[in-house]
Structure 1
């Protein structure tokens, strides 16, 4: 499957994980969540894509991840290796983890 935007997209589930890093720990937090996401991308069929970003103020790292179904979250967290990797984030941060489904897709207005 190749990710692409369409006018009428299939319903998609997004994970948004805002990682509030301890002072001076942004790079470490980024590498830890990067390891988690790459693990999921290589092993979990519900994974579609992920954007990993670091805030310019050095205070947060964000993972915005598309998955096929809200139930995929439970599958990911039932994997002991995933859990071990994910829990390492607790040593350098606190985080907010939420699951969303798309309610509206807004695209730029097409030129006439």
Structure 2
């Protein structure tokens, strides 16, 4: 088990980049792939200042894992992969899955606002 840290959200939000890593796991490799990406994310969280937070989720059909990671800069991804230990950890993920990265910049952040909601 990994230690849990406290993360605070602020309003208005600062500019954030999201990396969405969609991991298509090979048959029977869901749990192994999850452990690998979890290890990668925790490695980054302990060493890279550009890392803000991450959410890792298994699909209900058992075929994919999604890692949504907030980082402070688009350049951070290149910086992460320049780390040989990080790259070696990702090489392990290639053995149990195929994956793709998507990069997003937050343009709107919406929180619940039920004060004016109808019934």
Verify same fold: TM over 0.5: yes
Q: TM-score, normalised by structure 2?
A: 0.87
- Equivalents in 1 of 2:8, 2:17: separation in Å? 13
CA distance in 2, matches of 1:75, 1:32: 20
- For structure 2, the residue ranges without an aligned partner over 5 or more in a row are 1-5
* Aligned ranges 1:27-46 → 2 under 5 Å: 27-46=31-50
Structure whose alpha-carbon radius of gyration is higher: 2
TM value normalised by structure 1: 0.93
After TM superposition, what 4+ stretches of structure 1 lie above 4 angstroms from structure 2? Answer: none
Cα distance in 2, alignment partners of residues 72 and 106 from structure 1: 25
1:78-89 matches, cutoff 5 A: 78-89=82-93
Give the aligned length.
Answer: 111
Structure 1 unaligned regions, length at least 5:
none
Alignment deviations for residues 29-67 of structure 1 (CA, whole Å, 9 cap, x no partner)? 000000100110011111111101111110001100111
